Amino acid sequence: MCILVKKLADMVGKQDKAPQLSIFDTPLKRFINLEHESCILSARIDWDSIENEFSTYFSEIGRPSVPIRRMVGLLLLKHIYNLSDEAIVARWIENPYWQYFSGEKVFQKAL
């Protein structure tokens, strides 16, 4: 029981660093330009320290949380491009660079 609770606590708000891909999924790194400004900015941000700082605000009880990197990434993109909540979500689903910036490993087709 204690091991399960520790394992869940380690996963709160975090995304799997090496998810197993479906045979139909192409990693984003394979078809985007890693020299794009979003990719460069993403590499310069210390995502691990951000996850460590924000993980204290998450509960282990209830529904699984959205990954911290996705939430912080969307918030940063929203302010960089001066978009509304609705507009950032609509554009995120269309933009592989924004998905990569917010920690996705493969292109997401749905919210």
Residue for token pair 């282990």 = 60
Residue 108 lies in a domain: yes
Domain span holding position 37: 25-55+68-111
Domain for residue 46, yes or no? yes
Q: Are 102 and 73 in contact (CB under 8 A)?
A: yes
Full pLDDT tens readout for the chain, 111 residues: 445 444 444 555 555 555 565 667 788 999 999 999 999 999 999 999 999 999 888 888 888 888 999 999 999 999 999 999 999 999 999 999 999 999 999 999 887
pTM: 0.77
Which pLDDT belongs to residue 101?
97
Classify residue 102: in a domain, yes or no.
yes
Tell the residue number behind the tokens 């078809």, with chain if given.
31
Q: Let me know if residue 33 belongs to a domain.
A: yes
Whether 13 is in a domain gets the answer no
Q: Do the domain assignments include residue 72?
A: yes
State how many domains the chain has. Answer: 1
